[in-house]
Structure formats: structure tokens, C-alpha cells
């Protein structure tokens, strides 16, 4: 009798002890499933500029993939995946991991494209610690994207070009580096980062090696013109550089592209009214979704809704369909 009473009390204690946890579990909302065709694109100021995203969307439209690639691109200037900032930077560089969960919850992507690395070496010479921080950041990004039910496509960083920066490069023997005074061989750091990203290719993760594709395109042009550069400031590509980026990414995704020279292709695309619409739509959407997801640069930015922008995005999409494919 005593044994039965003891077991009864133990059972009651067990049930009541678990009750709060079970109630909390039952009350916690199930995260909504990813939207089948929604694509989230993350990156730094090169992605915030967004021209390569507009070119990529143009290629998707031309090959009738627009319906399966609903793109929300929210690059953020100065951002890293590693959480690194150089001394003397005006404020701590934002880290994508701080806004990643909010982005995944708001956008609900089925795939995520992410292009990081340019800022992650903070324009310093090679460092095992910074390299390890970059790998940790990419690994955390991968794990959170997969946990949200999405696939990840990593894009290795674009090229850093020291040629246009000769007057600003850190002097030999310098101990202080940063965006204002970059390490002269900083592109070698980005090549290391590209190698690390390639090692993460696996289940649910693909990697497009933009870095080497762009490096080869730069070398080919510089052979004919030693003063050629994609990036007048060494970091941010101009229109041709963005097109080279888009072509490398599109080919990495399996799209067949025109065989025309990129210079000729750039003139053709920029003259196409369909590209004008696509670029306008992408720009509007990026500018609305970036604060809607929320971010911090010196202060927090958060907006309440993207509904008004999405109405305009839909209208531009309908106008694009009326124009038809090239």
C-alpha cells in the first residue's frame, strides 16, 4: 500500500513537473514551411548594389525560369559572415548571422545564395584566426539555412584588384591595415577563403567558384590592356564586372548563356527594356525587404511592411510578361 502510494505520488510529480515544459512545447508555433520558389540572396555592398542580381534575374527570365526563382536580394554594405572588423573602421561591421534568423523567417526561402569574403579578411594579410572565423561563419550560416529547410548556394568572393589602389595600399612593413589602407596582396586572402568555401560543398550545400572565374576574366583582359580593371576602387565592380559575376553564377546554376563577348552582351542587355523593368523591380524589392527584415549599422533599422512594394513588384512582373521573352 505504501509502495503504491509512493509510486502514485512519484507519477503525479513527474506529470506535473513535465506539464509546464509540455505546455510550452505545445504553445510554441511551428515555423512556416519555405515557399517553394522563393530565393534569398545575401551579401555585402556588392550584393546591395545588386546589378549582378538584376543580370541574373534577366537570364532567368530569358530562359523561362522566372516562375521558379522568386528572388529577394538583401545585401548590406560592409557586412561579413565572420563578425570581424578592422581597427579604425567607422563602426563595427555588421554580421549576417545577426539578421539571418529574421531573414529566413520573413522571406521563407527554399534556397539561399550567399556571397561573403571581401570584408571578412578586413583587408589584412593572411591570418589563421581570421580564416578560421570565416569558416566558422560559413558553417553557422550553412547549419541555420539547412535547419530552416532551405538549400544553400555559397558564392566565393569576387576579386580584389590592387592595381587601381596603388596610392592607398599599405606600405611594405606596415602593421596597420584596413579598407582605407589595404594589404597589397589581399586577393591571396580571398583565394584562401574561396578554397575554404569549396570545402563545404555537400548535402544541401553547393558552391559556385566566382572568385576564380572572375580572376581568369580579369587576367584575360589585362593581357590585352595592362590598365584594365573591373573595379575602379579595387573592391566594387562596375557594370561589366557585375555581368561577369552574373554569368559565372548563372553557369554555376546550369543555365546556358549566349557565347557573345561580355562587353557586347552588356550593351545588348542594358538596351533591352525588359532588363530595365527587371532592374527596377529588383531594386525596389531590395530596398523594401532590407529594412523589413531589419539590420543594424550604427543604429537599428526596421520597417513594418513590404505590402505596398509587393503590389508594385507584381505590376512590374505583369508588364514584363506582356513584353515577352527576347
pLDDT tens digits, residue range 110-164?
Answer: 999 999 999 999 999 999 999 999 999 999 999 999 999 999 999 999 999 999 9
Determine the average pLDDT of the residues in 244-251.
98
Determine the average pLDDT of the residues in 224-252.
98
CA angle, residues 24, 28, 29, in degrees to nearest 5? 165
pLDDT tens digits, residue range 265-320?
Answer: 999 999 999 999 999 999 999 999 999 999 998 899 999 999 999 999 999 999 99
* pLDDT in the model for residue 304: 97
Residue bearing the bigger pLDDT, 164 or 8 = 164
Query: Residue 253 pLDDT more than 80?
Result: yes
Q: What is the mean pLDDT of the chain?
A: 91
Q: How confident is the model at residue 29 (pLDDT cuts 50, 70, 90)?
A: low
Query: Residue 15 pLDDT more than 60?
Result: no
Beta bridge partners of 114: 42, 154
Contact 205/111 with Cβ under 8 angstroms?
no
Determine the average pLDDT of the residues in 47-66.
95
202 is written with which cell numbers?
555537400
* pLDDT in the model for residue 148: 97
Query: Residue 232 pLDDT more than 90?
Result: yes
Domains of the chain with bracketed CATH: 38-323 (3.40.50.1110)
Which of 1-15, 26-40, 51-65, 115-129 shows the lowest mean pLDDT across its residues? 1-15
Determine the average pLDDT of the residues in 11-31.
44
Output Rg (C-alpha) for the chain, integer angstroms: 23
* pLDDT in the model for residue 67: 81
pLDDT tens digits, residue range 31-46?
Answer: 789 999 999 999 999 9
* pLDDT in the model for residue 326: 80
Sign of the torsion angle spanned by Cα atoms 310, 316, 322, 326: negative
* pLDDT in the model for residue 108: 98
pLDDT tens digits, residue range 178-198?
Answer: 999 999 999 999 999 999 999
* pLDDT in the model for residue 244: 98
Determine the average pLDDT of the residues in 92-121.
98
- Which of these, 84, 94, 160, lies nearest to 122 by C-alpha position? 84
Report percent pLDDT > 90 for the chain: 86
pLDDT tens digits, residue range 154-163?
Answer: 999 999 999 9
- Which of these, 211, 171, 204, 220, lies nearest to 188 by C-alpha position? 211
Which H, E and C letters describe the chain, residue by residue? CHHHHHHHHHHHHHHHHHHHHHHHHHHCCCCCCCCCCEEEEEECHHHHHCHHHHHHHHHHHHCCCHHHCEEEECCCCCCECCCCCCCCCCCCCCECHHHHHHHHHHHCCCEEEEECCCCCCCCCCCCHHHHHHHHHHHHHHHHHHHHCCCEEEEECCCCCCCHHHCCCCCCCCCCCCECCECCCCHHHHHHHHHHHHHCCCECCEEEECHHHHHHHHHHHHHHHCCCCCCCCCCCCCCHHHHHHHHHHHHHHCCCCCCCCCHHHHHHHHHCCHHHHHHHHHHHHHHHHHHHHHCEEECEEECCCCCHHHHHHHHHHHHHHHHHCCC
Amino acid at each position: 500500500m505504501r509502495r503504491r502510494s509512493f509510486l502514485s505520488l512519484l507519477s503525479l510529480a513527474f506529470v506535473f513537473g513535465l506539464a509546464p515544459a509540455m505546455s510550452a512545447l505545445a504553445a510554441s508555433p511551428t515555423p512556416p514551411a519555405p515557399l517553394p520558389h522563393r530565393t534569398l540572396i545575401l551579401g555585402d555592398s556588392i550584393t546591395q548594389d545588386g546589378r549582378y542580381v538584376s543580370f541574373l534575374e534577366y537570364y532567368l527570365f530569358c530562359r523561362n525560369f522566372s516562375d521558379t526563382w522568386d528572388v529577394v536580394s538583401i545585401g548590406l554594405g560592409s557586412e561579413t559572415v565572420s563578425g570581424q572588423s578592422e581597427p579604425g573602421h567607422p563602426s563595427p561591421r555588421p554580421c549576417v548571422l545577426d539578421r539571418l534568423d529574421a531573414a529566413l523567417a520573413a522571406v521563407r526561402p527554399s534556397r539561399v545564395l550567399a556571397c561573403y569574403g571581401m570584408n571578412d579578411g578586413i583587408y589584412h594579410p593572411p591570418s589563421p584566426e581570421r580564416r578560421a572565423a570565416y569558416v566558422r561563419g560559413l558553417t553557422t550560416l550553412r547549419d541555420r539555412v539547412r535547419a530552416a529547410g532551405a538549400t544553400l548556394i555559397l558564392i566565393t568572393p569576387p576579386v580584389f584588384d590592387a592595381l587601381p589602389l596603388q596610392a592607398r595600399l599599405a606600405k611594405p612593413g606596415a602593421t596597420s591595415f584596413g579598407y582605407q589602407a589595404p594589404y597589397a596582396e589581399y586577393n591571396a586572402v580571398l583565394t584562401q577563403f574561396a578554397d575554404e568555401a569549396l570545402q563545404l560543398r555537400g548535402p544541401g550545400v553547393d558552391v559556385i567558384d566566382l572568385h576564380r572565374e572572375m580572376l581568369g576574366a580579369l587576367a584575360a583582359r589585362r593581357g590585352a590592356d595592362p590598365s584594365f580593371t573591373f573595379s575602379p576602387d579595387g573592391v566594387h565592380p562596375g557594370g561589366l564586372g557585375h555581368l561577369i559575376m552574373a554569368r559565372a553564377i548563372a553557369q554555376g546554376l546550369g543555365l546556358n548563356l549566349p557565347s557573345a563577348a561580355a562587353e557586347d552582351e552588356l550593351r545588348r542587355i542594358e538596351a533591352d527594356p525588359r532588363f530595365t523593368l527587371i532592374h527596377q523591380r529588383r531594386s525596389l524589392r531590395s530596398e523594401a525587404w532590407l529594412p523589413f527584415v531589419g539590420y543594424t549599422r550604427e543604429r537599428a533599422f526596421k520597417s513594418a511592411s513590404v505590402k505596398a512594394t509587393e503590389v508594385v513588384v507584381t505590376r512590374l512582373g505583369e508588364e514584363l510578361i506582356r513584353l515577352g521573352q527576347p
